[in-house]
Amino acid sequence: MEENNIKLTFPALFNETRRKHGKSKAYAFVGEEPVSYDVAGKRISALSALLEKNGIHPGDKVALLSSNMPNWGIAYFSITFMGAVVVPILPDFSVTEVANVLEHSDSKALFISSGLLNRIDGFKSENLKTVIQIEDFSLLISENNSSEYDPEAVPELKYDVAEDDIASIIYTSGTTGRSKGVMLTHKNISFNAFKGKKIQSLDEDDCFLSVLPLSHSYENTLGLILPLICGSCVYYLRKPPTPAVLLPALELIRPTIMLTVPLIIEKIYFNKILPTFREKLILKLLYKIPFLRKKLNVVAGKKLLKTFGGRIKFFGIGGAKLNKSVEKFLREAKFPYAIGYGLTETSPLLAGANPKKTVFESTGPAIEGIELIIKNPDNKTGEGEIWARGATVMKGYYKEPEMTAEVFTPDGWFKTGDLGTLDSKNNLFIKGRLKNMIVGASGENIYPEEIESVINNFRFVVESLVIQQKGKLVAYVHLNMDELEKKYQHLKQDMSDKFEEKKKELLSELQEYVNSQVNKFSQINKVILQPVPFQKTATLKIKRYLYT
């Protein structure tokens, strides 16, 4: 399917896929038989009929609060095919956040999965008249008591959806506090998916294993709309993707495409791969010799590929910056990774490259049809704010004209709030968030993300956060206590004081290590133990605003 030959709306895309791949597999839970695009199409139509009976009209908002499942996509399309607006809500939103989104978006109906019913406990609204349980489309709340889901039903009206109609309002959990409702049109998202296809071509033989929330724009566009336009199949997990759930699923499905965030592959590298090269002294010594390290990494890469089912051709990594050491390993291991860059406001993809064309520490060039510039670049470093313009950029923030005006220039450039550089081949390199940047005592730009990347390479460190306190840089560090206790078991058994002393020694050693690796103005003044994991967004970025 090519975007030039087709109207860029979800119903047009789906109808085209049904015409070409109607009998192809579309959606399934792992271990279950997938429904075809034809069967999915009938269910979408029947569900649109149910929404119609419950008073949903074009332009009305319908919220979707559910864990990932085949019916998530069915519900999403049933809303958007009739010109209504879907409001996907992240499953990890709190009761208060869910209430705020339902209220702010004026949602008239809600699809909800049974495991998340507690998120609407006590919620009352004049707008919300219909609540549908997503597993079986049964009505939990309805003013029209006679209406229920009929798998044979079809909508009474014909709906003409336009490319510039709003398809979705996505509320960002973000790392800066207040959520904003990002208005994305059918064209924004469809255009973005087509450009994703230009980076990696797919067909009906490809299959995705979905591990990120569908309510996040990254998984939504590239894990739902992209497979749709290619006639590919998507498999979902019934439980969160812990190793115990993920490993058997990978073995069974043997996916060709996966979309992930850095934390997933970083955990595998630091907890599983790196320790194997440190256990035996001979391996440890051999791993320090570049030529032999590369050979060892190729062997490890083959094992890693086998762990993921042996068929992965595109392992997408987005949502946050990938650790430098991990990327170096993936390159040397010849693992088919690809890094992309984007924001919810840009549907989301702005830059990306195919696994065969990755550039170390870069997200690759701008996707086709998108302009990227570095605004007011620094004379020495070339760093500046990344601005973007093109068909994937949002319409604006819902009910927030002032906030919208702040991020757009009069000639249509969107200010991303991210800092970066472009090389001579237009490859983009991300430095960090403008809001996170710390200005040093002599006016130097300090990027906490870069210091954190160094900290996270240190043994036993799971994650870290660098902030400025009273003009000094402080690192909060969360350690892998299980590994630490295993290593110093004898101390823990004998006396807890000695174990506590060992932790202090480790943090002191960490500070010395980091300060030997970073420039003078990025030196850490103090390291503080973070006893529990940091709170994170859907793409597993730390919610910085909670700690600064």
* Residue-wise pLDDT tens digits, 26-44: 999 999 999 999 999 999 9
13 shares its domain with 49: yes
Q: Is 318 exposed, middle or buried (0-12, 13-18, 19+ CB in 10 A)?
A: buried
CATH number at residue 532: 3.30.300.30
∠ CA 480-484-489 to the nearest 5 degrees? 150
Given a contact cutoff of 8 angstroms between Cβ atoms, the answer to whether 474 and 507 are in contact is: no
175 pLDDT higher than 70? no
Q: Are residues 396 and 460 in the same domain?
A: no
- Domain check: are 102 and 203 in the same one? yes
CATH of the domain at 284: 3.40.50.12780
* Residue 288 domain boundaries: 243-433
In our burial notation (b when 16+ CB lie closer than 10 A, e otherwise), range 40-64 reads bbbbbbbbbbbbbbbebeeebbbbb
CB 422 within 8 A of CB 381: no
pLDDT at 350 over 80: yes
pLDDT, one tens digit per residue, over 177-203 is 456 899 999 999 999 999 999 999 999
Residue 57 has pLDDT above 50, yes or no: yes
Residue 314 CA to residue 324 CA, distance in Å, equals 19
**What are the CB-based long-range contacts (under 8 Å, 24+) for 30-39?**
30/209, 30/235, 30/236, 30/237, 30/238, 30/249, 30/252, 30/253, 31/249, 31/252, 34/70, 34/233, 34/235, 35/70, 37/231
Kindly tell me if the per-residue pLDDT of 445 is higher than 90.
no
pTM of this prediction exceeds 0.85: yes
Q: Which of 251-255, 312-316, 485-489 shows the lowest per-residue confidence on average (mean pLDDT)?
A: 485-489
Alpha helix positions (H), 36-185: 37-53, 70-80, 95-104
Together in a domain, 473 and 504: yes
Q: Is-contact 514 507, C-beta < 8 A?
A: no
Q: Distance between CA 201 and CA 224 in Å, rounded? A: 15
**Residue 438: its H or E element:** strand 438-439
Query: Where do the DSSP E strands lie in 198-348?
Result: 207-210, 233-236, 257-260, 314-317, 337-342
Q: Determine the Cα–Cα distance for residues 7 and 10; give it in Å rounded to an integer.
A: 9
Percent of the chain having pLDDT more than 70?
97
Are 420 and 510 part of one and the same domain? no
Residues 379 and 478 placed together within one structural domain of the fold: no
- What's residue 497's pLDDT? 72
Mean pLDDT of 324-338: 97
**Is the residue at 442 inside a domain?**
yes
Domain match, 111 and 190 both: yes
In tens, the pLDDT along 123-173 reads 999 999 999 999 999 999 998 877 899 999 999 999 999 999 999 999 985
Number of domains in the chain: 3
Does residue 238 lie in a domain region? no
Answer yes or no: do 143 and 286 share one domain: no
pLDDT tens sequence across 206-246: 999 999 999 999 999 999 999 999 999 999 999 999 889 99
**pLDDT tens figures, 79-136:** 999 999 999 999 988 888 899 999 999 999 999 999 999 999 989 999 999 999 999 9
> Residue 176 has what pLDDT?
43
The reply to whether 248 and 347 lie within a common domain is yes
SS3 content of the chain, % helix, strand, coil (to 5): 40, 25, 40
Are 450 and 380 in the same domain?
A: no
Q: Are strands 233-236 and 25-29 parallel, antiparallel or unpaired?
A: parallel
Give every CB contact of residue 316 below 8 A, 6+ residues apart in sequence.
222, 257, 258, 259, 260, 337, 338, 339, 340
Q: For residue 174, is pLDDT > 50?
A: no
Residue 328 lies in a domain: yes
Residue whose token pair is 């040093």 = 440
